[in-house]
Structure 1
Amino acid sequence: MTTTNGRSEARPAADYGFFGPESVAWRVWRYPTSLLLGFMRAVVIEELDPYLVASVADSGQVRQRTPLRYDRTLQYFATVLFGDAESVLKASDILMKIHARAVGPEPVTGNHFDANDPDSQLWIHLTAWHSILYTYEVFGPGKLSAADEARYWRECAVAAEFQTTDPASVPTSRAGIRAYFEAYRPKLVGSEVAQDMMDYLLDLTREILPPQVPSFVRWALNAVVRRGVVATMPRWMRRMAGTPQRRITDVLCTTVIRFALSRLAGRRSGEVAALDALSPRTTPVLAPVLCGVPAVNPVVYTPAEARARFDMPVTPRQQYAQILEQRACGTGAKPYAHHHHDTLLEFSESA
């Protein structure tokens, strides 16, 4: 991105990565619902997984550096969806190395968490893709056609190839997604740690808005977005999270948010300005898409094609097997200290 007279200019991507302008994923993920509401719903719900919340609580980074962690995480997801193929492969590799050290005891079950664990990665992946689609339906244009939704879930399986998840384990239909979440439900725990973290993340808007935003605006936006996210959660999940909310509040917040986002959608300057304010690191990735700037090379790769093209043949699943082997031999990367400050992450942030 370059800036001229305070306005952002989008630079074209090298290629269309793994999805491209004709994909359903681009249509859904580029809509304003994904920037805050969809992403926030995902990270809030994810905390009900005791292994994930143990990892989050152990690192302490979400609370210590909330705006930065939001910015970096959204940048990663945007890169996978909208970035050029080589950038996606590099981002996946960096995240694998960061997660390789995110291991430790999980106090609720007595077992250990591992941020690269395929089951945990699948939970995160599906929660994100489902939340982005669901908020698009609730606050945006509405439900996709059956054909488009089927394509959306096929594209979800493609994105899973950049994590340790087995793409074959990704459901390819709405019914399959529902069955997955129903089967995962007994594993979820509304622990005190989970409820505390979920409550904190529901106020994410307040934490990530730029400091120049007046306090009363910050309070009002946070109040509406928080209640809007809760409105998308099923009743059983609200009980686990300790976030009860009346139906009239659900309806009012949904109506207000849907109207506001319909005014923003398609207005390039407004969308880019909102993106710049909430996640400046994501702007160079997503702005070309929002502004309709074509890629230098308008090609869409498959993961296998990209790995051959950019000489990065090792998949995350193969990397994970190597990590486990090294760990078993006592030669792997040392686990992070409690409330660590990650030098590798700092390097990637400055890149």
Structure 2
Amino acid sequence: MSKRDKRTIQPHEDYGFFGPDSVTWKVWGYATTPFIGIERATVVEELDPHLLRAVHDTGANYARLDTRYARTVQYFASVAFADSRTVSKMADVLVKVHSKAIGHDPVTGRPYDANDPSSQLWILITGWHSVLKAYELFGPGKLTEDEERQYWAECAIAAELQTCDPADVPRSREEVRAYFEEWRPRLAASEATQQMMDHLLNGANAIVPNKGVWRLVRPIANWSLRTGTIATMPRYMRSMAGVRQSRLTDLLVRPYLRLVFGAVHHVMPLKLLAIRQLSPKLLPVVLPYWNDVPPESPVVLTPAEARERYGYARPSEAHLELRAKQRERVFGRGEAPSDIGIIESQEILGSIA
């Protein structure tokens, strides 16, 4: 990109919560993230029966997977690359969005709440682990031990943007393994879970248009992302999901996807084409990073500094009145929860239609 083109890119207000020296930028900035990394995260997350119920009840993943996925990618990328004001506002409105995702889970018989700290920690760890797994298998490879420790320390910073406790974030590969082993007895795969996971694994069919030259690309893209995502999943998760894939396929898909993602990552026109199709609103977030456009103020803030600067409450303490009203509507009066959070989020994350 020429100097003149760079001048047309709107710089961020600041470096946000990580910045150019972070491992987060290195890993989350690779081309595997918005495709294999986020797809894997959304697939694996569904093994939490409470999260599955929260998503399943809305029907959004079936009715509008393309817009829901675009919003998910935009949020995660913003946490990594956007300025502190933007991310703080997103984190605040997501508490409102999640206030709607409450109810009773017919599998466990217990109430669920998307703002529950345990559920939020599951989403966070699954997301950061999935992005790292995709980077390792289909990108540049494993991080050094020091980089990996820094990566999980930075994940704890991201935890401050959710209702979970940063102290609960694993800080090493061994602790991450222990976390998933601890969760294993709590996972469940009902018929609805398997249906949802299969639908998400075929997500490219909902995102890539079925017309023109895209009609030829669509089945290849779907096979590639589905096969690559399954290759990152442990055998017990595949068994629960009801999906099968041979070890030979796991092995052969790696060099193929390394080549594909290497091309997408290093060839700007391919990168722009892919992101415009996947999540157009993501471009203002990542273009400054891709083109080394410095922010207006080259500083990195902590989430606590940002909350104080912009007047937001800690997510675990945010919108308690609204969350109480939603619980009363659902658990007290048996009514549907309010859509206020969804409505407000559209200005920030785009339309859900």
Return the offset for 1:344: 3.1
Q: What are the Cα deviations for residues 256-278 of structure 1, in whole angstroms up to 9, with x where unaligned?
A: 11111122223333322221121
Return the offset for 1:253: 1.6
- Correspondence for 2:274: 274
Distance 2:205 2:171 in 1: 36
Instruction: Report the TM-score when normalising by structure 1.
Output: 0.91
Distance 1:338 1:323 in 2: 10
Give the share of equivalent positions with the same residue, in percent. Answer: 45
Distance 1:185 1:154 in 2: 24
- Correspondence for 2:11: 12
Query: 1:137 touches 1:143 (CA, 8 Å); kept in 2?
Result: yes
Distance 2:9 2:273 in 1: 12
Distance 1:9 1:140, change over 3 A: farther
What SS class does the counterpart of residue 160 from structure 2 fall into? Answer: helix
Query: 2:14 touches 2:295 (CA, 8 Å); kept in 1?
Result: yes
Query: 2:98 touches 2:115 (CA, 8 Å); kept in 1?
Result: yes
Distance 1:108 1:249, change over 3 A: same
- Structure 1 gaps of 5+ residues are none
Return the offset for 1:210: 3.9
- Correspondence for 2:97: 98
- Correspondence for 1:263: 263
Q: How many residues align?
A: 346
Equivalent residue letter for 1:133:
L
Equivalent residue letter for 1:15:
D
The reply to whether residue 301 of structure 1 matches residue 296 of structure 2 is: no
- Correspondence for 1:23: 22
Give the 5 Å matches for 1:59-98. 59-98=58-97
Query: 1:12 touches 1:295 (CA, 8 Å); kept in 2?
Result: yes
Distance 1:224 1:324, change over 3 A: closer
What SS class does the counterpart of residue 16 from structure 1 fall into? Answer: coil
The range that moved more, 124-133 or 317-326, is 317-326
Distance 2:115 2:178 in 1: 23
Query: 2:100 touches 2:338 (CA, 8 Å); kept in 1?
Result: no
Query: 1:39 touches 1:132 (CA, 8 Å); kept in 2?
Result: yes
- Correspondence for 2:136: 137
What SS class does the counterpart of residue 280 from structure 2 fall into? Answer: coil
Q: What are the Cα deviations for residues 196-232 of structure 1, in whole angstroms up to 9, with x where unaligned?
A: 0000000011211245543232011111210111011
Distance 2:122 2:171 in 1: 15
Return the offset for 1:99: 0.8
Query: 2:101 touches 2:114 (CA, 8 Å); kept in 1?
Result: yes
Return the offset for 1:326: 5.2
The range that moved more, 320-329 or 100-109, is 320-329
Equivalent residue letter for 2:253:
C
What SS class does the counterpart of residue 95 from structure 1 fall into? Answer: helix
Distance 1:43 1:251 in 2: 23
Distance 2:227 2:7 in 1: 32
Distance 1:210 1:21 in 2: 35
Query: 2:105 touches 2:112 (CA, 8 Å); kept in 1?
Result: yes
Query: 2:13 touches 2:295 (CA, 8 Å); kept in 1?
Result: yes
Instruction: Report the TM-score when normalising by structure 2.
Output: 0.91
What SS class does the counterpart of residue 141 from structure 2 fall into? Answer: coil
Equivalent residue letter for 2:232:
T
The range that moved more, 29-38 or 302-311, is 302-311
Distance 1:332 1:190, change over 3 A: closer
Return the offset for 1:345: 3.7
Return the offset for 1:320: 6.2
- Correspondence for 2:205: 206
Q: Cα RMSD between the aligned structures?
A: 2.7
Equivalent residue letter for 2:163:
T
The reply to whether residue 217 of structure 1 matches residue 217 of structure 2 is: yes
Distance 2:172 2:319 in 1: 28
Distance 1:254 1:125 in 2: 25
- Correspondence for 2:231: 231
Distance 1:258 1:299 in 2: 34
Distance 1:78 1:200 in 2: 23
Distance 1:200 1:340 in 2: 25
Q: What are the Cα deviations for residues 98-155 of structure 1, in whole angstroms up to 9, with x where unaligned?
A: 1112111111001111111110000000000000001100000000010010000000
Distance 1:8 1:271 in 2: 20
Distance 2:106 2:215 in 1: 37
- Correspondence for 1:288: 288
Return the offset for 1:166: 0.5
What SS class does the counterpart of residue 112 from structure 2 fall into? Answer: strand
Distance 1:63 1:201 in 2: 9
Distance 1:294 1:204 in 2: 34
- Structure 2 gaps of 5+ residues are none
Equivalent residue letter for 2:273:
A
